[in-house]
Amino acid sequence: MATYLLRRILLLIPLMLGITLITFTVIHLAPGEPVEMQIAMNPKVGKDARERLQKFYGLDKPLHVQYITWVTHLAHLDFGRSFSSDNRPVVDKITERLPITLSLNIIALLIEFGLAIPIGVLAAVYRDTLVDKGITVFVFLGFAVPTFWLALLLMYFFGVKLNWLPISGLHTLGYEHYSWLGRLWDLARHLFMPILVASFGSLAGVSRYMRSAMLQVIEQDYITTARAKGLPERVVIWRHALRNALLPLITLAGFSIPGLIGGSVIFETIFSIPGMGQLFYQGVMSRDYPVVMGILVIGAFLTLLGNLLSDISYALADPRIRQG
């Protein structure tokens, strides 16, 4: 296990460098240097600020030196300062918003898997029956519904028409005066639609995947054995088959992270949730280079971390990997 872990972690280093290299390339796609752009947008930037910025980006030096300087800054968690009027360090801006996005996505991931697993198992167990067909229809619809459209429809029904749920933000105005239970309830009401939208995004895909994993397992000899020795079908399916069908899902959880993080731009923008996705969107709209690049790098690192975690849990769950 220790060697496996070590090998897996060492493999991260070239990937991280690759991520920074691609991000660096993206910055240099821009016509006109970031400093010029910032100056063009903000005439108040004086000569000293210009020089300071040029020095920060090392724009007077050749490309490879610029790259090394930038990566060195990154390694010290220095992402530069935001171009927006508050001029705060990008790291601060990201770290105050990251927890919101992360916790939303983790809750969404849990709900998504909690629903997708039973749905997939049911479809596999009742293969080719009405249940399976109904689920297939649901899955195909789920693939095809644009998440932002779903968000709009939910906003219309629950927010506008029925007026049951708030349609934006995380808190009601003046929520500080509520009891802690009231605050929790307030938060839950605000989070209901965003989390529903976030978890719906890949629910269809995961349940489809679960179905095929389960179908494969059910054909194995040990399932026939379990049935032959007279175990009730319930135990065969939910204990013997499910445990093995769940293994590939661990990897899938790792793979679904970039989709979730990318999707947070959409639902955070629609529901005005002050998370990383909204910050990214605002950064894009106002051409706030340091913010966009910082989040791009962090988003990719989070994916890498998620993949590492899912690989480790896979190894913990499956001794064949650990010892192989």
Interaction site with another protein (CB under 8 A): 14-15, 18-19, 22-23, 26-27, 29-31, 140-141, 143-149, 152-153, 155-156, 160, 258-259, 261-263, 265-266, 269-270, 280-281, 283-285, 287, 292-293, 295-296, 299-301, 303-304, 307
**Angle between helical axes of 130-144 and 180-218 (0-180°, round to 10):** 120
Residue 236 C-beta: closest distance to another protein, Å: 25
**E strands of 82-225, at which residues?**
none
C-alpha to C-alpha distances, 242 to 33, 77, 213, 237, 310, nearest whole angstrom:
55, 43, 9, 6, 18
Task: Name the residue nearer to another protein (CB basis): 236 or 304.
Answer: 304
Q: Which token pair is 29? A: 């796609």
Residue 238 C-beta: closest distance to another protein, Å: 27
Distance CA 280, CA 134 (A): 38
Task: Name the residue nearer to another protein (CB basis): 17 or 65.
Answer: 17
Task: Name the residue nearer to another protein (CB basis): 242 or 304.
Answer: 304
Residue 306 C-beta: closest distance to another protein, Å: 10
SS (H, E, C) 44-95: CCCHHHHHHHHHHHCCCCCHHHHHHHHHHHHHCCCCCECCCCCCCEHHHHHH
- Taking phi first (over 0 means left), then psi (-120 to 50 degrees means alpha), and beta for anything else, what does residue 78 get? beta
Task: Name the residue nearer to another protein (CB basis): 4 or 281.
Answer: 281
List CB contacts of 323: < 8 A, sequence separation 6 or more. none
Task: Name the residue nearer to another protein (CB basis): 104 or 300.
Answer: 300
Q: Which token pair is 113? A: 């898997």
User: What radius of gyration do the chain's Cα atoms show?
Assistant: 24
Q: Are the CB atoms for 83 and 286 separated by under 8 Å? A: yes
Residue 273 C-beta: closest distance to another protein, Å: 15
Q: Are the CB atoms for 166 and 159 separated by under 8 Å? A: yes
Residue 54 C-beta: closest distance to another protein, Å: 18
Q: Are the CB atoms for 194 and 264 separated by under 8 Å? A: no
Q: Which helix (H) or strand (E) holds 237?
A: none
Q: Which helix (H) or strand (E) holds 124?
A: helix 90-125
Residue 5 C-beta: closest distance to another protein, Å: 18
Residue 297 C-beta: closest distance to another protein, Å: 9
Residue 322 C-beta: closest distance to another protein, Å: 22
Residue 67 C-beta: closest distance to another protein, Å: 15
Task: Name the residue nearer to another protein (CB basis): 242 or 278.
Answer: 278
First and final C-alpha spacing in the chain: 10
Task: Name the residue nearer to another protein (CB basis): 6 or 22.
Answer: 22
Task: Name the residue nearer to another protein (CB basis): 248 or 258.
Answer: 258
List CB contacts of 69: < 8 A, sequence separation 6 or more. 58, 61
Task: Name the residue nearer to another protein (CB basis): 34 or 116.
Answer: 34
